[in-house]
Amino acid sequence: MRVAYVEMIGGASGNMLLGALIDAGADPEAVERALRTIPVTGWKFERSRSVKAGIAAAYVDFDIPGEDCRPGEHVAHGHHLGDVLDIIERSGLSARARERASAIYRRLGEAEARVHGTPVDAIHFHEVGQIDAVLDVAGVCVALELLGIERVTCSPYPLGHGSISMHHGHYPNPPPATAELLRGAPTQPVDVAAELVTTTAAAILSTLVTDPGIRPAMRFERIGYGAGRSDFRIPNVTRVIVGELALVAERPGAGVGGLESADDLQTDEVVVLETNIDDLSPQAFELAIERIFAAGALDVWTAPIGMKKQRPAVLLAALSSPADAPACARAMLRETSSIGVRTRRESRYTLPRAIVRRLTPLGEVRTKQVRLGAAERITLEYDDVARIARESGLPFAAVAAELTRYLETVEVPDERNVV
């Protein structure tokens, strides 16, 4: 599993997160192409290099006429939640990027509604409803997908002091909506009189991050820095470290740093989503399952059930990370006739496993390698065997047998993609 660890050295904003992801390897031209499918025009994507307290970082910004203002100034533009969701839905972003971006704005809308004591549909976003904020959110979602990020974690949230000047006036630091978004997350005070974590960044991270405040055991592959506009006594940068989860399990109190050996069971938390359906054509399930997977599901399955009056029906279920659960639920509701999805959180034990890419006489194939103690089992990835069978015209069983014979005679390489 590829993971991104967001380290808020000088805080975080939407454009700092996007800059860090681009600096870590997300193709900026691919990001811009995706964002150009959003039905808004008149903006320019600006990129440059900046040095903050000795650290070189990528600075990105969206130049949108009428939205730019100097610190302390504010514009009255903005959108209702429904407007923003409609803009995202009408874009050409991938299904997963749309779902992630929509989930971020729904979480933001819920936080604003609690602060203002109004229904979420009545919320009118100001700073976070401007087009540059929408592009920041969508850009981060696109960049995560380009980098193949499946899990996002982050450091504790650094919070400055003083007051914040916003559209409605001066507010305590952090502003009320940001404080709502960070409810339950670890924070740390920083002696800087400024807003270090913007509401946009708080919405992005609190939606996507599964374990705030915890640096995962991982292999560092790429490191990127995103620069903020201001200068502080600390480097005003966000650092993103991209890599693979290491083959170790995190368990508090076990060994040095709470880590077990790679031979022990791993634990994590997942969300199970379920809905009962008795009025959907069987033909619709294939596409529905495809789009639930696109929304981030780890697994999707169906099972026959009997409902009231003994009507035959289908149980549609999915498994996802906590961060992707809202997107998966939305996909289940959008793609089927269901009007409700049940969810529950469950802990699970998993075995250390790795996807190893192997070059064979029949082409590159992936094998899944799973360990329990000293025992190891290796299985071929079905999709690669099926692809080779189609390309060669050979039977599936013959291809699988030939690949198995070959792989048993060669050593396993050290380069692994951990899942």
CA-nearest of 207, 165, 173 to 190 is: 173
Instruction: Indicate the range of 189-193, 295-299, 310-314, 359-363 predicted with least confidence.
Output: 359-363
| H or E element at residue 378 | strand 375-380
- pTM, to two decimals: 0.64
Contact by Cβ (8 Å): 383, 398: no
Region 301-322 average pLDDT = 91
- What gap in Å lies between CA 368 and CA 356, rounded to an integer? 6
Residue 165, pLDDT above cutoff 80 = no
Q: Which two tokens stand for residue 305?
A: 């059930």
The alpha carbon of 284 is separated from its chain's Cα centroid by a whole number of angstroms, namely: 27
* pLDDT more than 70, % of the chain: 86
Buried b / exposed e along 85-96 (16+ C-beta atoms within 10 A) = bebbeebebebb
Region 277-297 average pLDDT = 91
Region 55-81 average pLDDT = 69
Instruction: Please name every residue paired with 2 in a beta bridge, in sequence order, or none if there are none.
Output: 244
**Angle of helix 325-335 versus helix 284-294 axis, rounded to 10:** 160
Strands 363-372 and 375-380: antiparallel
Residue 172, pLDDT above cutoff 80 = yes
pLDDT digits (tens, 9 = 90+) for 115-129: 877 776 766 665 454
Q: What pLDDT score was predicted for residue 419?
A: 38
* Residue found by looking up tokens 């915890």 in the block: 214
Instruction: Please name every residue paired with 51 in a beta bridge, in sequence order, or none if there are none.
Output: 56
Residue type, 193: A
Q: What pLDDT score was predicted for residue 278?
A: 92
Q: Which two tokens stand for residue 363?
A: 């082409």
What domains are defined for the chain?
A: 2-245 (no CATH), 266-350 (3.30.70.1380), 353-418 (3.10.20)
DSSP string across 295-318: TT-SEEEEEEEE-GGG-EEEEEEE
